[in-house]
Structure 1
Amino acid sequence: MNIKSLLLGSAAALLAVSGARAADAVVVAEPEPMEYVRICDVYGAGFYYIPGTETCLKIGGLVRYQIDWDDQDEGWRKTAAARVNLDARSETEYGTFRRFIELHFQHNGQEYVVDTTDGSSEWSDTQGSWIRYAFFELGGLMIGRNDTLFDGALSGEFDAGGGDFINSIRYTFDAGNGIAVSVALEEEDNNFDYVPLVVGKVSVAQGWGSVDLFAAYDDRFSEFALKGVAKIKATDALTLELLAAYESGATWFGLADFYAGYEWSVGGYLKYAVNDRLTVGAGGQYFADSHFGNFLTNTTTEVGNDDWSIGAVIDYKIVENLNAKLAVNYDDGDSFTDGSFNGFLRLDASF
């Protein structure tokens, strides 16, 4: 065999081996492209797109520590609370589709409890948790647990406007130019009857401030409640708030409590922003001709007491997302043996 034949044979062998190895080569799949969380600025700060969707989500909440006092109590009352909320939004052919949840967790410390039946005693935690909000909105329609549509009061901590959280179906028509009209069907009791509370509201918001007018009907005693709240910007720093309310009889929207209120009430509050950190306010509210619902006769019982409350509030922003509120109130009138001072110091750390 000559050298030329040897070289040609070696080259052919190498090509055959290389071809066999190429046929057996392992193919490595390329990794899927990573989808990073994207900022969603359509609905304001704090929203992010849920990966793989066009839904924007914001996670928020707060940690609260509050010290309450009342000269009718035996000592300080302290509360530690936490709130967590989820706000999800997306756009549809019917408008913005919003889903909102807020959970509240609270601990009031321990109490020394004595069993009056056998005389035994023990330390017991006073704590609880509940759903504050759980609703969805599509366009102008809202369904779920929310503040009553009748919700509206002064910015003080002494005042009363009636109503609370409630399950409801609500529709709001935005007429433009700061004008909106809302109507709601609300249910105050579970499995009570088939007739809901009916509430209406007209809102006007302009550069000078806002006016909200409320009307509600309660079929339990066939009574109604009316209310108006105005907030007027006297200057950029000074705001005047006014409230007037009327109750034909006992309703769930009572100014004192559920089915306990007053025939009429007027109040005012003056709030002044000293700077971007400090705001102070003071005001009062007068309550005339008290009454309550008599569930034995299904009628309103007139008591006729006249009462009043005054109070002052200091709000201070310590740092970003950490706010302090100090409230001092005084309540007096026919319903009180003696006037009562009360108030609280509240620290809210939000996120």
Structure 2
Amino acid sequence: MNIKHILLGTAAGLMVATGAQAADLPGEAVPAAVDYVKVCDAFGAGFFYIPGGDTCFKIDGRVRVKGEYTDDSGDLVVDITGRVGFDARTATEYGTLRSYFRIGGGGEAADKDVSIEEAFIQLGYLTVGETGSIFDQDSGYGIYDLGFGNGDTAQLTVLYDGLGGGFYVGGAVEAGAEAYEATFGDAPNFVAVVGVTGQPWGSAELGVKYFADDELIAAKLGAIVKIADPLEINGVVYYAEEADDDQIDIGLGAKYSATDTLALVASLGYTIDETDVWTASAGVEYTVVPGLVAEAGFKYTDTEGADEDTAFAVQLTRSW
């Protein structure tokens, strides 16, 4: 071994020793361990664990731009709306503990005010708070789908899906339709539903709602049927007892998915009341990229004893 090899070996040994001693110098700050966000797949896509706990969290939202022209107003109205929701879920011995909170605003009608749209707590089969009624149902697809019911309401709901075979039953005690101004008072509304879901042919539900304030009753029968792989039919019959004249609403919608990104939609509605109303609509939905959908739709309304109305709208929706 020559002198050159000895010197190189000594130098290398000194460098290793120096580095080891430097790493142990007193007063040296020790880097904190990084707690990276972990994916939570127990409740579906988009959830992640809140660092330091076992609660899964998800943020969802939507921004929508809509332009609509109607014969009635003769104007082109542009609405821009947005909303964001916060979903927290934890597995417990009593079932999933969930809280959901959503705010939204915008649009000409809302004068761009921001408000609470939903806020509720769930534990297992029990839901308490402000959310959509289990009695309500949409029929149809696209911009001009047909909705039946009163919208979000303060409620206490029990929905049990442990019967097997996709069957479920539910009941609710509801306040009025105006969420944060409503009180249960002495005459709340009562809802009962029974249905089946997750079937090869689709799903169906029967519901009854009693309006204690007016001592009136409403009932609905709805179903979503998969006719074939690309074709789906959504229908509902809604009956409402009224003081002067009962009302019946019939809605039927169809959606044909021509490709993975392109779908054709249509709906037909008929209201039997003091004044009968026919509505028909058609439209197209195109997924530009995942999370971005462009739509166009046309609607025709024929009201007994009034002029016929038409409307046309285009809409762009970004959701996550």
TM-score for the superposition, normalised by structure 1 = 0.77
Q: Measure how far apart 1:107 and its partner are.
A: 4.2
The question of whether the paired residues in 2 share the 8 Å contact of 1:198 and 1:216 is answered with: yes
Residue identity matched to 1:154: S
Q: Structure 1 residues 323 and 138, CA, compared in 2 at 3 Å: closer, same or farther?
A: same
1:141 matched to which residue of 2?
126
The question of whether the paired residues in 2 share the 8 Å contact of 1:262 and 1:287 is answered with: no
In structure 1, C-alpha distance between the alignment counterparts of 2:306 and 2:137, rounded to whole Å: 29
Q: How does 1:1-351 map to 2 (within 5 A)?
A: 26-28=26-28, 30-108=30-108, 126-156=111-141, 157-174=144-161, 175-188=163-176, 190-191=182-183, 193-205=185-197, 206-249=199-242, 263-288=247-272, 290=273, 304-334=274-304, 337-351=306-320
The question of whether the paired residues in 1 share the 8 Å contact of 2:103 and 2:114 is answered with: yes
2:12 matched to which residue of 1?
none
Q: Measure how far apart 1:191 and its partner are.
A: 4.2
Residue identity matched to 1:318: V
Moved >4 Å (runs of 4+): none
In structure 2, C-alpha distance between the alignment counterparts of 1:86 and 1:327, rounded to whole Å: 31
Moved more, 161-170 or 31-40: 31-40
SS in 1 for 2:129: strand
In structure 2, C-alpha distance between the alignment counterparts of 1:52 and 1:172, rounded to whole Å: 32
Residue identity matched to 1:176: G
Q: Structure 1 residues 320 and 347, CA, compared in 2 at 3 Å: closer, same or farther?
A: same
The question of whether the paired residues in 1 share the 8 Å contact of 2:126 and 2:159 is answered with: yes
Q: Measure how far apart 1:218 and its partner are.
A: 0.2
In structure 2, C-alpha distance between the alignment counterparts of 1:160 and 1:96, rounded to whole Å: 30
Residue identity matched to 1:171: V
CA offsets 1:227-251 (integer angstroms, 9 cap, x no match) = 111111110111122221211216x
In structure 1, C-alpha distance between the alignment counterparts of 2:296 and 2:116, rounded to whole Å: 26
The question of whether the paired residues in 1 share the 8 Å contact of 2:89 and 2:98 is answered with: yes
- Flag structure 1 segments of 5+ consecutive residues without an equivalent: 1-24, 110-124, 251-259, 291-303
Q: Structure 1 residues 343 and 167, CA, compared in 2 at 3 Å: closer, same or farther?
A: farther
Q: How many residues align?
A: 288
The question of whether the paired residues in 1 share the 8 Å contact of 2:140 and 2:252 is answered with: no
The question of whether the paired residues in 2 share the 8 Å contact of 1:158 and 1:284 is answered with: no
CA offsets 1:7-47 (integer angstroms, 9 cap, x no match) = xxxxxxxxxxxxxxxxxx84546344221111111112211
Q: Measure how far apart 1:343 and its partner are.
A: 3.6
Residue identity matched to 1:328: F
The question of whether the paired residues in 1 share the 8 Å contact of 2:174 and 2:184 is answered with: no
The question of whether the paired residues in 1 share the 8 Å contact of 2:175 and 2:183 is answered with: no
RMSD: 2.1
Residue identity matched to 1:127: K
In structure 2, C-alpha distance between the alignment counterparts of 1:347 and 1:222, rounded to whole Å: 43
TM-score for the superposition, normalised by structure 2 = 0.84
Residue identity matched to 1:170: T
Q: Structure 1 residues 160 and 88, CA, compared in 2 at 3 Å: closer, same or farther?
A: closer
Q: Measure how far apart 1:80 and its partner are.
A: 1.2
The question of whether the paired residues in 2 share the 8 Å contact of 1:153 and 1:229 is answered with: no
Q: Measure how far apart 1:158 and its partner are.
A: 4.8
Q: Measure how far apart 1:88 and its partner are.
A: 0.8
The question of whether the paired residues in 2 share the 8 Å contact of 1:58 and 1:88 is answered with: yes
Residue identity matched to 2:194: V
Q: Which has the larger radius of gyration?
A: 1
In structure 1, C-alpha distance between the alignment counterparts of 2:82 and 2:283, rounded to whole Å: 23
Aligned-residue identity in percent: 30
CA offsets 1:52-102 (integer angstroms, 9 cap, x no match) = 110011112121111122101131111111111111111011011111111
The question of whether the paired residues in 2 share the 8 Å contact of 1:158 and 1:309 is answered with: no
Q: Structure 1 residues 138 and 192, CA, compared in 2 at 3 Å: closer, same or farther?
A: closer
